[in-house]
């Protein structure tokens, strides 16, 4: 749901990439770009201001200035702050009350309330192994009651029937009794959609809330309405003690302004996001992961930490010195690097942490990860010392010999040599930047 934000912010990150120390002016410039990106994503102004203020203070502080890869640190700061403004950790549903735990759903008409009741029932049933009953207190639209009945059937929730002639409170009281008798763990109550903030309707849901004392009162709101979603939720929150928000239709929202605004504006966490029309289109909302996705950086930071911790520092230093002196990166060096990769458990563990690469189909990943590394090492081991130092010697007949010796095909040998050429080219480019430059290359 954050595609547009991601796009803009990656432009900002790109411009900082590979820079040495940052100056106050290019930090300010980057912060300005972040601000524009947030405004364009329809994040509410007070949220943008608070975010920018915090990002600026941290970015201009020691943290970034003293760092060797300031662009990266800035990314981390922005990511941390985005996560924080959305609540950091996922907010669980509270079901720790004597059964049945009542969940009251509120929201504007068309927000996706009834659909969400069914999705939530499925979630609680499948993920938390609860017996779930649903009931509709929407006495204004008989069709809404039928819609819920159909959906309940689809997700395997118990449906408690109600009639348009009944009072909402009476319906819910009867449902609670039935839930108790039949040992349902959770009762989810759908309510009438309010088309706007209508006093009579508000009074009704307030009375309903007081009568049934739900442990969770969730406000369902359409993500496509951007920062208005947060404002509507705030109004509801002033009348009803909400415990959380469900943001629907995030699959159609490229901006994410609602997701970023709700928590700050309402003080209530987003507990779930709707990600599709089907009953399984509901995800627990994880602010930290969402923030990570906004910057589309996967887990680059921990990747860098991991690489730094596991690289054989002596060898890395020697290689850096060698490259810095303009000496040729040869197949011995490549073998060293491959061995280090192997020590890290192949690339696959690392690749999953990368945003783009992590998404690749498994068979593509296999080509470049784990299983390839030992084969590549075998190929290099079958070369003579001289060939490793001077790969240009490897003509057709030598390649064929290496293939036989390593039990691989000539195509495998060619692949290794091709990868070698790419690495060699990259090393040449790094020149005096040495290993540190390469780390920076890795870490963006």
Annotated binding site: 107-114, 190-194, 248-251
Q: How far is the CB of 294 from ligand GDP (least distance, A)?
A: 19
- Using the contact rule CB under 6 A, the part of the chain among 177-185, 275-283, 315-323, 430-438 near ligand GDP is 275-283
Instruction: Write down how long the chain is.
Output: 444
Residue 338: C-alpha distances to residues 7, 71, 190, 193, 384 (Å): 33, 28, 58, 60, 18
Residue 135, both tokens: 């009931």
Rounded to the nearest 10 degrees, the angle between the axes of helix 313-324 and helix 410-430 is 70
CB of 113 or CB of 388, closer to ligand GDP: 113
Q: Which residues are annotated as a binding site for GTP?
A: 107-114, 190-194, 248-251
Other C-beta atoms lying within 10 Å of the C-beta of residue 376: 22
Q: Of these, 237, 274, 391, 433, which contacts ligand GDP (CB under 6 A)?
A: 274
Q: Of these, 4, 109, 342, 419, which contacts ligand GDP (CB under 6 A)?
A: 109
Question: For residues 175-204, which are near ligand GDP according to CB under 6 A?
Answer: 193
Question: For residues 243-262, which are near ligand GDP according to CB under 6 A?
Answer: 248-249, 251-252
Q: How far is the CB of 248 from ligand GDP (least distance, A)?
A: 4
Q: How far is the CB of 242 from ligand GDP (least distance, A)?
A: 16
Binding residues for ligand GDP, total number by CB under 6 A: 18
CB of 248 or CB of 369, closer to ligand GDP: 248
The most distant pair of C-alpha atoms in the chain lies apart, rounded to whole Å, by: 92
Sheet containing 132-136: give its strands across.
158-160, 132-136, 186-190, 101-107, 216-222, 244-248, 270-274, 282-284
| Half-sphere exposure of residue 12: CA atoms within 13 angstroms, side-chain side | 28
Q: Of these, 112, 256, 257, 292, which contacts ligand GDP (CB under 6 A)?
A: 112
Question: For residues 210-249, which are near ligand GDP according to CB under 6 A?
Answer: 248-249
Q: How far is the CB of 276 from ligand GDP (least distance, A)?
A: 5
CB of 115 or CB of 406, closer to ligand GDP: 115
Q: What sign does the CA torsion over 80, 84, 86, 92 have?
A: positive
Residue 189: C-alpha distances to residues 109, 236, 238 (Å): 15, 17, 20
CA distance 136 to 160: 8
Q: Of these, 277, 280, 305, 321, which contacts ligand GDP (CB under 6 A)?
A: 277
Instruction: Spell 360-375 as b/e; 16+ CB within 10 A means b.
Output: beeeebeebbbebbeb
Q: How far is the CB of 134 from ligand GDP (least distance, A)?
A: 12
Per CB under 6 A, does 3 bind ligand GDP?
no
CB of 107 or CB of 434, closer to ligand GDP: 107
Per CB under 6 A, does 114 bind ligand GDP?
yes
Site residues (vs ligand GDP, CB under 6 A): 107, 109-115, 193, 248-249, 251-252, 274-277, 281
């Amino acid at each position: 749901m954050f595609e547009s934000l991601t796009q803009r912010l990656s432009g900002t990150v790109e411009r900082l990439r590979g820079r040495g120390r940052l100056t106050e002016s290019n930090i300010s410039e980057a912060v300005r770009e972040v601000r524009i990106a947030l405004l364009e994503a329809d994040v509410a102004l007070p949220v943008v201001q608070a975010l920018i203020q915090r990002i600026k203070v941290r970015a201009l502080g020691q943290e970034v200035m003293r760092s060797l890869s300031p662009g990266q640190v800035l990314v981390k700061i922005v990511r941390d702050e985005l996560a924080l403004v959305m609540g950091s950790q996922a907010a669980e549903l509270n079901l720790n009350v004597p059964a049945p735990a009542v969940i009251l759903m509120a929201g504007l008409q068309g927000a996706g309330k009834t659909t969400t009741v069914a999705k939530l029932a499925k979630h609680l049933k499948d993920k938390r192994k609860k017996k779930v009953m649903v009931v509709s207190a929407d006495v204004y639209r008989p069709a809404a009651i039928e819609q819920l009945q159909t959906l309940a059937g689809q997700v395997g929730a118990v449906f408690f029937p109600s009639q348009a002639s009944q009072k909402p409170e009476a319906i819910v009281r009867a449902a609670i009794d039935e839930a108790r008798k039949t040992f349902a763990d959770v009762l989810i109550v759908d309510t009438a959609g309010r088309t706007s903030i209508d006093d009579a309707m508000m009074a009704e849901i307030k009375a309903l809330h007081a009568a049934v004392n739900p442990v969770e009162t969730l406000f369902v709101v359409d993500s496509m309405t951007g920062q208005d979603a947060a404002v509507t939720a705030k109004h509801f929150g002033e009348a009803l003690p909400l415990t959380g928000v469900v943001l629907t239709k995030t699959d159609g929202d490229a901006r994410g302004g609602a997701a970023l605004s709700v928590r700050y504006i309402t003080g209530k966490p987003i507990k779930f996001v709707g990600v599709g029309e089907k009953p399984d289109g509901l995800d627990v909302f994880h602010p930290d992961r969402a923030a990570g996705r906004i910057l589309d950086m996967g887990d680059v930071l921990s990747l860098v930490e991991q690489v730094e911790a596991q690289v054989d520092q002596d060898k890395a230093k020697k290689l850096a010195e060698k490259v810095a002196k303009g000496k040729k990166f040869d197949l011995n060096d490549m073998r060293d690097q491959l061995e280090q990769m192997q020590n890290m458990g192949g690339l696959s563990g690392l690749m999953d942490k990368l945003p783009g690469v992590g998404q690749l189909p498994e068979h593509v990943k296999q080509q470049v990860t784990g299983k390839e590394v030992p084969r590549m090492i075998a190929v290099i081991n079958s070369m003579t010392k001289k060939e490793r130092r001077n790969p240009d010697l490897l003509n057709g007949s030598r390649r064929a010999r290496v293939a036989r010796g390593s039990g691989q095909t000539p195509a495998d040998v060619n692949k290794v040599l091709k990868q070698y050429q790419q690495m060699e080219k990259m090393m040449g480019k790094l020149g005096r930047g040495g290993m540190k430059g390469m780390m920076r290359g890795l870490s963006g």
